[in-house]
Amino acid sequence: MLQAVSTFSQVVVATQSVPLIDQFNLDEIIIVEREDGASTFHRPDPNRLTAWLDDYSLGDLWRKNLLGGVPGSEQG
């Protein structure tokens, strides 16, 4: 449903759901990190992750903290 509605409207979804992230392609993901009390946004580097994606899903990479955005306490 999200992909269908995205053909005519911008959709922003925040999730920590592995099954949901597995429904997207790498170029559709933006990672949010908390740094020094502020949110930072970045896209995963496809060159760094291409080999991983041969064997693992995006959800697997998120669980392994290769994408970033893993919940945790902010250091500072």
pLDDT in tens, 4-55: 898 899 988 988 889 999 999 999 999 998 888 899 999 999 999 989 999 9
70 domain residue, yes or no: no
pLDDT at 47: 93
Residue 49 CA to residue 52 CA, distance in Å, equals: 5
75 located within any domain: no
Q: Is the pTM of this model over 0.85?
A: no
In a domain, 8, yes or no: no
**What range defines the domain where residue 48 resides?**
13-63
Q: Does 42 reside within a domain? A: yes
Contact in structure between 29 and 44 (CB atoms under 8 Å) = yes
Half-sphere exposure of 41 (CA within 13 A, CB side): 4
Residue 57 has pLDDT above 70, yes or no: yes
In angstroms, the Cα distances linking 2 to 8, 21, 52, 58, 59 are 11, 12, 26, 17, 17
For residue 6, is it within any domain? no
Structural domain contains residue 35? yes
Give the pLDDT confidence score for residue 20 in this predicted structure.
92
Residue 18 included in any domain: yes
**Per-residue pLDDT at 49:** 92
Overall domain count for the chain = 1
